[in-house]
Protein backbone atom coordinates (compact mmCIF):
# COMPACT_ATOMS: atom_id res chain seq x y z
CA UNK A 1 0.00 0.00 0.00
CA UNK A 2 1.42 3.38 -0.96
CA UNK A 3 1.82 6.11 1.57
CA UNK A 4 -0.22 9.31 1.24
CA UNK A 5 1.75 12.27 -0.01
CA UNK A 6 0.91 15.69 1.38
CA UNK A 7 1.70 17.25 -2.01
CA UNK A 8 -1.05 15.19 -3.66
CA UNK A 9 -3.52 16.23 -0.97
CA UNK A 10 -2.49 19.88 -1.38
CA UNK A 11 -2.96 19.57 -5.14
CA UNK A 12 -6.44 18.12 -4.73
CA UNK A 13 -7.26 20.91 -2.29
CA UNK A 14 -6.00 23.63 -4.64
CA UNK A 15 -7.70 22.28 -7.77
CA UNK A 16 -11.00 21.78 -5.95
CA UNK A 17 -10.70 25.28 -4.45
CA UNK A 18 -10.13 26.99 -7.79
CA UNK A 19 -12.90 25.05 -9.51
CA UNK A 20 -15.41 25.69 -6.73
CA UNK A 21 -14.50 29.39 -6.60
CA UNK A 22 -15.13 29.66 -10.35
CA UNK A 23 -18.31 27.63 -10.03
CA UNK A 24 -19.54 29.82 -7.18
CA UNK A 25 -18.94 32.96 -9.24
CA UNK A 26 -20.78 31.46 -12.21
CA UNK A 27 -23.65 30.14 -10.10
CA UNK A 28 -24.05 33.47 -8.31
CA UNK A 29 -24.17 35.31 -11.66
CA UNK A 30 -27.06 33.17 -12.88
CA UNK A 31 -28.96 32.55 -9.66
CA UNK A 32 -28.70 32.13 -5.95
CA UNK A 33 -25.65 30.33 -4.62
CA UNK A 34 -26.60 27.33 -2.43
CA UNK A 35 -25.62 27.69 1.21
CA UNK A 36 -22.84 25.97 3.09
CA UNK A 37 -24.47 23.60 5.59
CA UNK A 38 -23.66 23.98 9.27
CA UNK A 39 -23.21 20.20 9.41
CA UNK A 40 -20.19 20.27 7.06
CA UNK A 41 -17.56 21.27 9.64
CA UNK A 42 -19.24 19.16 12.31
CA UNK A 43 -19.13 15.97 10.23
CA UNK A 44 -15.51 16.57 9.24
CA UNK A 45 -14.58 17.22 12.89
CA UNK A 46 -16.26 13.96 13.96
CA UNK A 47 -14.29 12.05 11.32
CA UNK A 48 -11.08 13.69 12.56
CA UNK A 49 -11.87 12.67 16.14
CA UNK A 50 -12.58 9.07 15.07
CA UNK A 51 -9.30 8.89 13.14
CA UNK A 52 -7.35 10.39 16.03
CA UNK A 53 -8.95 8.03 18.56
CA UNK A 54 -8.17 5.06 16.30
CA UNK A 55 -4.55 6.18 15.93
CA UNK A 56 -4.09 6.67 19.67
CA UNK A 57 -5.70 3.32 20.45
CA UNK A 58 -3.57 1.48 17.90
CA UNK A 59 -0.42 3.23 19.12
CA UNK A 60 -1.12 2.21 22.72
CA UNK A 61 -1.83 -1.39 21.70
CA UNK A 62 1.32 -1.58 19.60
CA UNK A 63 3.40 -0.13 22.41
CA UNK A 64 1.99 -2.65 24.89
CA UNK A 65 2.70 -5.45 22.43
CA UNK A 66 6.31 -4.27 21.87
CA UNK A 67 6.88 -4.07 25.62
CA UNK A 68 5.41 -7.58 25.97
CA UNK A 69 3.00 -6.60 28.71
CA UNK A 70 0.98 -9.52 30.03
CA UNK A 71 -2.56 -9.49 28.66
CA UNK A 72 -1.74 -6.94 25.95
CA UNK A 73 -4.04 -7.15 22.98
CA UNK A 74 -2.17 -7.01 19.70
CA UNK A 75 -3.29 -5.33 16.53
CA UNK A 76 -4.68 -7.68 13.93
CA UNK A 77 -3.09 -7.05 10.51
CA UNK A 78 -6.44 -6.91 8.73
CA UNK A 79 -7.79 -4.40 11.24
CA UNK A 80 -4.67 -2.26 10.78
CA UNK A 81 -5.01 -2.43 6.99
CA UNK A 82 -8.66 -1.40 7.19
CA UNK A 83 -7.77 1.50 9.47
CA UNK A 84 -5.10 2.74 7.07
CA UNK A 85 -7.46 2.47 4.09
CA UNK A 86 -10.13 4.36 6.03
CA UNK A 87 -7.60 7.04 6.92
CA UNK A 88 -6.35 7.40 3.36
CA UNK A 89 -9.84 7.57 1.92
CA UNK A 90 -10.89 10.08 4.55
CA UNK A 91 -7.86 12.27 3.81
CA UNK A 92 -8.53 12.26 0.07
CA UNK A 93 -12.20 13.11 0.51
CA UNK A 94 -11.40 15.74 3.15
CA UNK A 95 -8.91 17.42 0.80
CA UNK A 96 -11.57 17.55 -1.91
CA UNK A 97 -14.36 18.77 0.38
CA UNK A 98 -12.13 21.31 2.16
CA UNK A 99 -10.99 22.63 -1.22
CA UNK A 100 -14.57 22.99 -2.38
CA UNK A 101 -15.65 24.82 0.75
CA UNK A 102 -12.45 26.85 0.68
CA UNK A 103 -13.21 28.07 -2.84
CA UNK A 104 -16.77 28.95 -1.91
CA UNK A 105 -15.51 30.65 1.25
CA UNK A 106 -13.06 32.80 -0.72
CA UNK A 107 -15.86 33.80 -3.06
CA UNK A 108 -18.09 34.69 -0.13
CA UNK A 109 -15.32 36.70 1.54
CA UNK A 110 -14.48 38.69 -1.56
CA UNK A 111 -17.86 39.28 -3.16
CA UNK A 112 -20.67 38.82 -0.69
CA UNK A 113 -19.72 39.95 2.83
CA UNK A 114 -22.35 42.71 2.94
CA UNK A 115 -25.15 40.18 3.53
CA UNK A 116 -25.21 38.76 7.10
CA UNK A 117 -26.40 35.33 5.94
CA UNK A 118 -23.48 35.12 3.51
CA UNK A 119 -21.09 36.08 6.31
CA UNK A 120 -22.35 33.10 8.32
CA UNK A 121 -21.86 30.89 5.27
CA UNK A 122 -18.26 32.12 5.02
CA UNK A 123 -17.69 31.12 8.66
CA UNK A 124 -19.13 27.64 8.01
CA UNK A 125 -16.90 27.29 4.95
CA UNK A 126 -13.84 28.35 6.95
CA UNK A 127 -14.73 25.86 9.67
CA UNK A 128 -15.01 23.16 7.04
CA UNK A 129 -11.53 23.94 5.75
CA UNK A 130 -10.10 23.77 9.28
CA UNK A 131 -11.94 20.53 10.05
CA UNK A 132 -10.79 19.08 6.72
CA UNK A 133 -7.19 19.92 7.64
CA UNK A 134 -7.76 18.14 10.97
CA UNK A 135 -8.99 15.03 9.12
CA UNK A 136 -5.89 15.08 6.92
CA UNK A 137 -3.58 15.51 9.93
CA UNK A 138 -5.28 12.69 11.83
CA UNK A 139 -5.13 10.40 8.79
CA UNK A 140 -1.43 11.07 8.30
CA UNK A 141 -0.84 10.41 12.00
CA UNK A 142 -2.76 7.13 11.79
CA UNK A 143 -0.74 6.11 8.78
CA UNK A 144 2.48 6.96 10.63
CA UNK A 145 1.42 4.91 13.67
CA UNK A 146 0.65 1.85 11.56
CA UNK A 147 3.76 2.03 9.38
CA UNK A 148 5.66 -1.25 9.31
CA UNK A 149 9.18 -1.16 10.79
CA UNK A 150 10.83 -2.20 7.52
CA UNK A 151 9.21 0.81 5.82
CA UNK A 152 11.54 3.05 7.84
CA UNK A 153 14.75 1.38 6.60
CA UNK A 154 16.08 3.42 3.63
CA UNK A 155 18.68 0.79 2.67
CA UNK A 156 15.95 -1.76 1.86
CA UNK A 157 14.06 0.78 -0.23
CA UNK A 158 17.19 1.50 -2.30
CA UNK A 159 18.00 -2.19 -2.70
CA UNK A 160 14.57 -3.02 -4.15
CA UNK A 161 14.31 0.05 -6.35
Distance CA 156, CA 134 (A): 32
| Predicted local confidence at residue 40, as pLDDT | 93
Question: What is the DSSP track for 20-46?
Answer: HHHHHHHHHHHSPPPPPPTHHHHHHHH
pLDDT digits (tens, 9 = 90+) for 60-79: 888 888 787 787 777 788 98
How far, rounded to the nearest angstrom, does the alpha carbon of residue 115 sit from its chain's CA centroid?
30
Q: What is the pLDDT of residue 4?
A: 87
pLDDT for the residue 71:
76
Q: Are 99 and 135 in contact (CB under 8 A)?
A: no
Give helix then strand counts, H and E, for the chain.
Answer: 5, 0
Query: Residue 161 has what pLDDT?
Result: 44
pLDDT at 150: 67
- CA dist 115 and 122 (Å) reads 11
* Per-residue model confidence (pLDDT) at position 46: 97
- Ranges in the chain, pLDDT < 50: 159-161
pLDDT of residue 160: 47
Amino acid sequence: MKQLRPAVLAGIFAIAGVLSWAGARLWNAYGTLPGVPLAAPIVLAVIAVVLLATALSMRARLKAQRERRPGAKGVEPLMAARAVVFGQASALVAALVAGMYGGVGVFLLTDAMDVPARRDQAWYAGGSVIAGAAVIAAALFLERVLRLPEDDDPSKARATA
